[in-house]
Amino acid sequence: MDGKPLALEASESVSVATPRQAPRERGHLFMPRRWHRPKIMKWLRRTHAWLGLWGAVLGLLFGVTGILLNHRAVLKIPAAKNAEMQLQVPLADPLPADATALGAFLQRELKLDKSATRPRIEPAKSAPWGDGSIRQPERWQLTFVTTHETVTAEYWVGNRHVSVRRLDPNFFAWLNRLHMGTGAGVGWILLADTLAGGLIVLALTGLLLWTRLHGRRLLALGLAGTCLTLGLIFGLTGI
């Protein structure tokens, strides 16, 4: 060793790494750029989350009963059943003067919670009988509907009795009645309306919060358009 620096046998190439530019934040695809503010985004996320919590239980109820209603005929799901009962209710003098009086009498006699809905009245008419015809009397039809029972009454004017048919739903049939609002009171209808309104807001806020992380805008429009097109085709053609 003579103390002299050794010469490098091969020159080493040193590459200086240039810092990569961070991708530009594109924001939310379906929102105007002027809405990209922390307060607005925070409000959207909180609204979406709290509305989802508000309608979670009712959404589950409507989802399960919707499946039961959609497939009850094709799949013959035996879950929802109605116990049927028929009876003849005698009438005392004087006979009811009109359908309203008959409805009030049946409500008292059968201890029904609600009064009858708008009665259906068929006027007297001629009906074919053999080679001739006979005079058919006027017929009244009344319906008493609650969430836990349906009572229908049929009365031919002049008869001394009323034919009554009662349906008592089991638990799953009761849930289906709630889904359709059959016999439901004002409170339940208003509560279901809040869920329907909440679903609209959830759809809108979910669309606004949809970002590039979930795919491209064309893909989002394609999915929504396909769903809408299939719904229109199946709904209009009955497929």
Report pLDDT for 19: 53
Classify 88 as helix, strand or coil: strand
pTM above 0.75, yes or no: no
Mean pLDDT computed over 177-194? 80
Instruction: Give Cα separations from 85 to 47, 110, 142, 161, 238 (angstroms).
Output: 48, 13, 16, 16, 34
pLDDT tens track for 133-158: 888 889 999 999 888 888 999 999 98
pLDDT at residue 13, as a whole number: 47
| Range from 1-15, 38-52, 74-88, 161-175 carrying the lowest mean pLDDT | 1-15
Q: Which residue has the higher pLDDT, 108 or 232?
A: 108
Q: What pLDDT band is residue 11 in, cutting at 50, 70 and 90?
A: very low
β pairing state of 125-129 and 132-136: antiparallel
Contact 167, 83 (CB under 8 A): yes
Cβ neighbourhood burial of 97 (10 Å; 0-12, 13-18, 19+): exposed
For the chain, give the mean pLDDT: 76
